Amino acid sequence: MSRRKFMGLAGGALGMAAIASMGVAGWAANKLEIDPEALEYLENETDVLIIGGGMAGLFAAVKAHDAGAKTLMVSKGRLGSSGETPFAKGIFAYDPSTTEMSLDEFTDGVSRSAIGTNNPIYTRQMAEHSLDRVNELREWGFFDSALYNKSFSKPIEERNIDLLERIVITNLIKENGKICGAAGFSLDEEKVYIFKAKSVVLCTGAGGFKPNGFPICDLTHDGTIMAYNIGAKVTGKEWNDGHPGQATNSAACFDGWHGMFERVPSVESVGIRHDLGVDLNYMAYTNGNPVQMGPPGASESKKVVGGPYVPAEFSQRGPDKHDDGPKDGPKDGKHPRGGKPGEGGKDGEAGSPPGMGGVSVGGSSAGMAIHKSEGLVPINDKCESTIPGLFAAGDALGSYMAGAIYTQIGSSLAGSAVQGGIAGKAAAEYSADKKIPNISKTKIKEIKEEMLAPLHRTEGYSPAWVTQTLQGIMIPNFIIYIKKEGLLKAALAYIEELRDHHIPMLKAADLHELRLAHETVNMITTAEMKLKASILRTESRCSHYRLDYPETDKENWQAWINIFKGEDGRMKFEKQAFDSWPASGKPLEYI
Amino acid sequence: MGMIMENRIRLYNGIAAAAIFLGLPILFFVLGDFPERSILKNGLSLLTIIAFCMMLAQFYLARSNKNILKAHKMGKIVKYHKFIGYTFIAILFFHPFLIMLPRYFEAGVDPIDAFTTIITTFDSTGVILGIIAWCLMLVIGISSLIRNNMGMTYKTWRVFHGILSIAFLVIASWHVIDLGRHINSSMTIYIIILAGIGILLLLKTYFIKSSKPSGETK
Amino acid sequence: MSIESIDGCIGCGICVKTCPTDVIRMDPVTNKAIIKYPADCQICHLCRMYCPVDAITISPEKSIPVIVSWG
């Protein structure tokens, strides 16, 4: 008997629980591990509440604090070790002293590659402030280690900013038309938290459908959906991040990235591209498997006709490295049309030899849109959402900084840092003349009941199974990537079934499963948004490709799609013209 | 004839000792169901395991084990005891730092930070035991080196050295069984048996022998 | 299958905090880390890289076949 087995026996009940949690059972009685009635209830007060502990959250907390606000940071994971931040290894810095391109030229270049889908104000803002943020990061030791917790902790500890980790926020709280806090529960202690805050900055990242091959399984659009639920406008759900994964051991994101997670971060300079779209998906759709990346030129033998449009200026792939961490894709298998695959991994490291990608499969980032093209709709350049006091930064903000296609390597990390800083400062300024809001007892009771409901269900469906079913519906290439109306509607029928019949029956036996239950709800809501927005957008552009509408429609679709919850609780849509801020217009009718 | 016999016994003792204190742990290491690791990491682990087993062996390279060591000259045994003691205490002195060594060659947590985390994890019994055992081991090593300057009688020294050694072995074995990466049931039983016998042998020399005279007077 | 074993754990709890998908928990009896929810492991290796004693072993395989966009 090994020590492990011995300890398993010693663990007794715990071990059994582990086994039980592994099973993906469709229907089973809910054997509770904790007593939901005995949960402790805690209240906290702060000026600015930062939700999320990644790059955006870091700068939001630091800059809110530096602007004089009492700041509290709360994260589902650990500072610098959750979301996508830990895996992003390239950060863009626009250095005016070494860059020939002016800020305006850079912004215009991005707009051309993004076919107008970017918000030039945010594009320019990212570049303008990037060097300052990079310099601060350097001071904190960010570039000295492959792991970010230490460098992120430095400014937080120096400033004595309150930090609560492993708290799952499930609800944003709005009363009298304004944000007044958030609620969540601890994963480790049996505690429910209510945070009263003058303003909230969502730094919750974007998300996916817990896809395999990408380290985003803790990102399930939580912030976006929480904000949507209290009436915020969100955007960008039709876009896709087209990262492929490897066919062998598709689930192993560490191995699929050939050691990149172990690299220390580096600074990227200007180089505008048109990346992470769905061209490989189109190639796989038309030609079938295997989609294998050969040496440069090898793929010319199998010409692909049609497919996503790439502006001529950006279709010639340079030989530059393509290594921005997961934010930019595995180095292999990313350049479908005669492009040069980047360097492979180190020799002998799980996969392809240098310069030769292995067989690729799609969907490794399924459910995620291009960085910063999805999330809360900003009403100005201060990362402010449509709800007073609610801000968002980084991938949680639909700023369209890069547009609906990825345009600058390392800009996602830089953009998160820049927007975090701006949102934090703006939230502090907003909070300056406000009082700590009061949250009514009825509201708190209502939220608590909703939050803990899966623990109270004696029968129902396990979140793991519902998520797996959702993945089966959404991830196929012919649903989420290579779209056509019939199949989008077919998938929508399934999603509506999950929404109407399965969400109300999600059960959880412990706090881990309670987290999964909430994540599952957020993913299902996101799936509905993605399908409906994709049906609405009857054109193809950037990372949205409709087989039945393959052309870019510059007459009707020079616009983003905003999504919001109507008075009747139904999902509503509106167009917001590119280059404009949201205005309350007539909602689009979804058929 | 007697000389040849004694030589043979010495040889057999040597072989048996090597098999027990070197062979068995290596065998457990090789046959155990442990995750694959790099040569450097496995090398360091094996070195540490052997060093610990040599500490176990010290209890058998002492007067307390006279019965088995009859064929050997005590002077020679003491020489081995000293050599093994100083060598492997020196190696185990570096044990807390050797754990960090591979980290210098790979990405991941900073070795110094990792070290700080380890020695400040005070709610871990294994870590506390390890720190105490390491300190005891140093005291044993240093006191042996400066023994002649300490002004102890041989008898006092023997008790002093023996008690420290017992304390060290109990705490170190507990530490090893609690935290050892390559601990499985065979290794655990092996350590408990050898440490147990070694300690009993030593206690026997202190208590049973010293109580004998008083028993006789009655 | 993804995260496989934790050998030589000192119980510092860093891996529990570090795991983005909440796979690892502390065993209240032994005060050591255990792999409690292995099905949720995303094979990102953060726990292994953060572990001060390098106790964690992870393999690239996943026990349940995963859903990809084409195959």
The domain spans of chain B are 3-208
Residue with the larger pLDDT of the pair A329 and A65: A65
Same domain, A107 and A65: yes
How far is A125 from A114, CA to CA, in rounded Å? Answer: 16
Q: Is residue C71 part of a domain?
A: no
Closest residue of C to A481, CA-based? C69
Range of the domain at C34: 3-58
Instruction: Judge whether residue A316 has pLDDT over 70.
Output: no
- Amino acid letter, B111: P
Chain C residues bordering chain A (beta-carbon distance below 8 Å)? 2, 5, 7, 16-22, 25, 27-30, 32, 34-40, 42-46, 49-50, 58, 60-62, 64, 66-71
**CB spacing of B108 vs C5 below 8 angstroms:** no
Query: Which helix (DSSP H) or strand (DSSP E) does residue A73 occupy?
Result: strand A71-75
Which tens digits make up the pLDDT trace of A339-374? 333 333 333 333 333 333 578 889 999 999 999 999
**CB spacing of C7 vs B34 below 8 angstroms:** yes
Out of A188, A249, A362, name the one closest to residue C69 (CB).
Answer: A362
| Contacting partners of chain A (3+ CB pairs under 8 A) | B, C
Same domain, A477 and A519: yes
Report, as an integer, the average pLDDT of A123-149: 97
CATH number at residue A97: 3.50.50.60
Query: Which helix (DSSP H) or strand (DSSP E) does residue A163 occupy?
Result: strand A162-165
Instruction: Judge whether residue A323 has pLDDT over 70.
Output: no
Same domain, A478 and A422: no
Q: Is residue A388 part of a domain?
A: yes
**pLDDT, position A257:** 87
Report, as an integer, the average pLDDT of B170-185: 96
Task: Name the residue among A533, A528, A590, A560 with its Cα closest to residue A221.
Answer: A528
Report, as an integer, the average pLDDT of A178-199: 97
Which tens digits make up the pLDDT trace of A57-88? 999 999 999 999 999 999 999 999 999 999 99
Out of C21, C61, C69, name the one closest to residue A366 (CB).
Answer: C69
Which tens digits make up the pLDDT trace of A402-418? 999 999 999 999 999 99
Whether B140 and B167 have beta carbons less than 8 Å apart is answered as: no
Q: How confident is residue A1, by pLDDT bands cut at 50, 70 and 90? A: very low
Q: Do the strands A272-275 and A406-408 form a parallel or antiparallel pair, or are they unpaired? A: antiparallel
The tally of domains found in chain A comes to 2
Same domain, A82 and A215: yes
Instruction: Tell me the pTM.
Output: 0.89
**CB spacing of B183 vs A3 below 8 angstroms:** yes
Instruction: Judge whether residue A50 has pLDDT over 80.
Output: yes
Instruction: Judge whether residue A304 has pLDDT over 90.
Output: no
Residue with the larger pLDDT of the pair A100 and A324: A100
The tally of domains found in chain C comes to 1
Report, as an integer, the average pLDDT of A175-195: 96
Q: Is residue C24 part of a domain?
A: yes
B123 in reach of chain C (CB within 8 A): yes
Q: Is residue A358 part of a domain?
A: no
Same domain, A100 and A217: yes
Residue with the larger pLDDT of the pair B153 and A358: B153
Q: Tell me what ipTM this predicted complex has.
A: 0.94
Q: Is residue A353 part of a domain?
A: no
CATH number at residue C39: 3.30.70.20
What is the full DSSP assignment across A372-397?
A: TSSEEPPSSTT-B-SSTTEEE-GGGB
CA distances from A486 to A553, B54, B217 (A): 20, 74, 106
Same domain, A68 and A146: yes
Range of the domain at A469: 450-577
A348 in reach of chain B (CB within 8 A): no
User: Closest approach of chain C CAs to the CA of B96, in angstroms?
Assistant: 10
Contacts of C31 in chain B (CB under 8 A): 123-125
Select the residue from A2, A151, A263 to test the B interface by mutation, using most B Cβ atoms within 10 A.
A2
Q: Do the strands A90-92 and A375-376 form a parallel or antiparallel pair, or are they unpaired? A: unpaired
Half-sphere exposure of A281 (CA within 13 A, CB side): 31
Report, as an integer, the average pLDDT of A221-236: 98
User: Closest approach of chain B CAs to the CA of C69, in angstroms?
Assistant: 32
